[in-house]
Amino acid sequence: MAPYDNRDSKPHDPYYEPLSPEVIADPHPFYRRLREAHPVYWHGMLDSWVVTGHAAGRQVLTDTTRYASDFRRAGIDVPNTALSLQRLDPPDHTRIRHLLVTALHELPLRTTAEHLRAVMTARLTALAGTGPADLVTGFARPVALETICGYLGVRPPDGVDFELQSNAIVRSMDAGLDPSRAEAGIRARAALSSLVAGWLADDDRSGFVAAARRAQQAQPEITEDLLANSLRAILHAGYESSSRLLGAALLRLARQPALLDLLATPEGADDLADEIVRLDGSVQADGRVCVADGELGGRRIRRGQVVIVLLAAANRDPAVFPSPDEVNPRPRRGRHLGLGRGAHACLGAALVRQQLQTLFGCLRHDGFTITSTDRPRWEDTATLRGLTSLPAEVSARRTATAAGPHPIRG
Ligand code: HEM
C-alpha cells in the first residue's frame, strides 16, 4: 500500500490533487468527477494510472499475473525493510500468507470479542460525563492499539516513539506527492521491524506472535526478516487502518444515530459494518505495477507503469452500488473493495468487522451516546485517510457493565 511512492511528480492536475486542502476535507466529489470523466486516468502529477471505476479496480487487484505488488518484477528497487507479505506476489506471497492464516486460525475469535468489548466499554465509561473530549486520542487510537496488541499477544508499546514511527509510515505512503516524507518512513519501518523481531525472539509469548513463530519453525524457507516485516505490517494495519476506520465510523454514527436502528434485524450488524467499510474505509488507495502490456478500461497500460486503484472511489461507483453515497439498508455485501480483493485481501477483515460490531453494540445496547461538539479534523494524508481529532461528548444512559447482555455477535 504505497501507491504515491513515485518521486517524479509534477505540480498540477485538473481532477485530483490528493494533498490539496479541499481533497483532504472531502475527497469524494473529486473521486466522483474523475470516475465520471475517466474511470482509468493517466495522472501526470503522479506519473501513474489512477483507477476510480469498480470493474477496472477489481480487475487490477485480482490479476497478480499482470499487476504486481512486488515492484521488483518490473525492475523497481524495494528497500529490504519494505519487503513484507504486502509487497510479494504468488508463489512467495502464498507461502507467508498461508503461514499467517494458519497462525490466525489457532486463536479463538471469541476471546478477541470479549477483550474488545472490555476495552471499548472501559474507554467509553472513562469518557462518559466528562464534557467534550477528543474521540480519536481518547477512544479510536487506544482501542485499536490495545486490540491489535491483545491479538498479537504483546504489551502495547508505549511512549511517543511508537506513535511517531507509526505515523511516519503512514505519511511515507504519500512520499511521491511529498518526497520529504520518504526517509522517515524507511527508518520507522526498520525500527518497528526490530521491535517485532524482539517479540519473536521471546520464547514466553502466547497469541499470534507465538503462533506465527511456531509455524515459521516448520517452514525455514520463510526468513526471520520476512516474518518480522509481515508482523510489523499487521501491527501497523491493526493500529492505523483500524483506528482511522473506527474514528470515521464514530463520526458517521454521531451524525446519523438512526443507522443503529438497522441492528434490529438479524443481518443488520453485518450489513451496517459492510456499508461503513464501503463508505468510510480508511485505505483510500492501493498500488500495483504493470508487468505485461495490456488493456484496462479501454486504455493501454504498459509494463513498468504504476497503477493506483482508488478503492474509496470504486466503492461509490453507481454502476455497482445504488445511491452510492448513502448507507444502503440492504447492501450487496462483500462487493466493495474497502478491504481489498484477491490474493492480498485484508488479513484482518474478521477483526475489522468484529470491532465495528462491538462498537455498534456499545452504542445501541450498552447505553452510550456520542454527540459531536465541534468540527472534526482530517490528517493531510492521501493513501490512508484518518481524523486527527473528533471533538465529542460521550454520555451513558445507564451504567454499562462488561457482563451485561450484548446481543451483537462479536
Ligand atoms: C485489525 C486490523 C487489520 C489488520 C490486522 C490488517 C491486516 C492486513 C494485512 C496483513 C494485509 C496484507 C494481506 C496480504 O498482502 O496478503 C491487509 C491488506 C489490506 N487491508 Fe487490512 N488489516 C486491518 C485493518 C484494515 C482496515 C480497517 C482496512 C480498511 C477499512 C483494511 C484494508 C486493507 C486493504 C484494502 C488491504 C489490501 C492491500 C493490498 O491489496 O495490497 N485493513 N490487511
pLDDT value of residue 100: 96
Identify the segments of the chain with pLDDT beneath 50.
Answer: 2, 5-10, 399-410
Closest Cα to atom 40 of ligand 1: 344
| pLDDT tens digits along 250-282 | 999 999 999 999 999 989 999 999 999 999 999
pLDDT value of residue 9: 45
pLDDT value of residue 328: 95
User: Rounded to whole angstroms, how far apart are CA atoms 234 and 232?
Assistant: 5
User: Rounded to whole angstroms, how far apart are CA atoms 141 and 392?
Assistant: 15
- 101 class by beta-carbon count within 10 Å (0-12 exposed, 13-18 middle, 19+ buried): exposed
Ligand 1: distance of its center to the CA of 208 in Å? Answer: 16
pLDDT value of residue 397: 78
285-290 and 67-68 strand pairing:
antiparallel
Residue 96 alpha carbon, nearest atom of ligand 1: 16
Residue 242 alpha carbon, nearest atom of ligand 1: 27
User: Rounded to whole angstroms, how far apart are CA atoms 243 and 228?
Assistant: 22
* Residue burial 26-51, b: 16+ Cβ < 10 Å; e: rest: ebeebbbebbeebbbbebebbebbbb
pLDDT value of residue 8: 45
CATH 1.25.40.420 fits 21-396, yes or no: no
pLDDT value of residue 106: 81
Residue from 1, 234, 241 whose mutation best tests the ligand 1 pocket (most atoms within 8 A of CB): 241
User: Rounded to whole angstroms, how far apart are CA atoms 378 and 385?
Assistant: 8
Task: Confirm if 345 and 397 have CB atoms less than 8 A apart.
Answer: no
368-372 and 67-68 strand pairing:
unpaired
Measuring from each residue's beta carbon to the nearest atom of ligand 1, which residues come in under 6 Å?
A: 1, 61, 69, 85-86, 97, 148, 233-234, 237-238, 241-242, 245, 277, 281-283, 286, 311, 338-340, 344, 346-348, 351-352
Ligand 1: distance of its center to the CA of 401 in Å? Answer: 32
Ligand 1: distance of its center to the CA of 341 in Å? Answer: 10
Q: Is the pTM of this model over 0.85?
A: yes
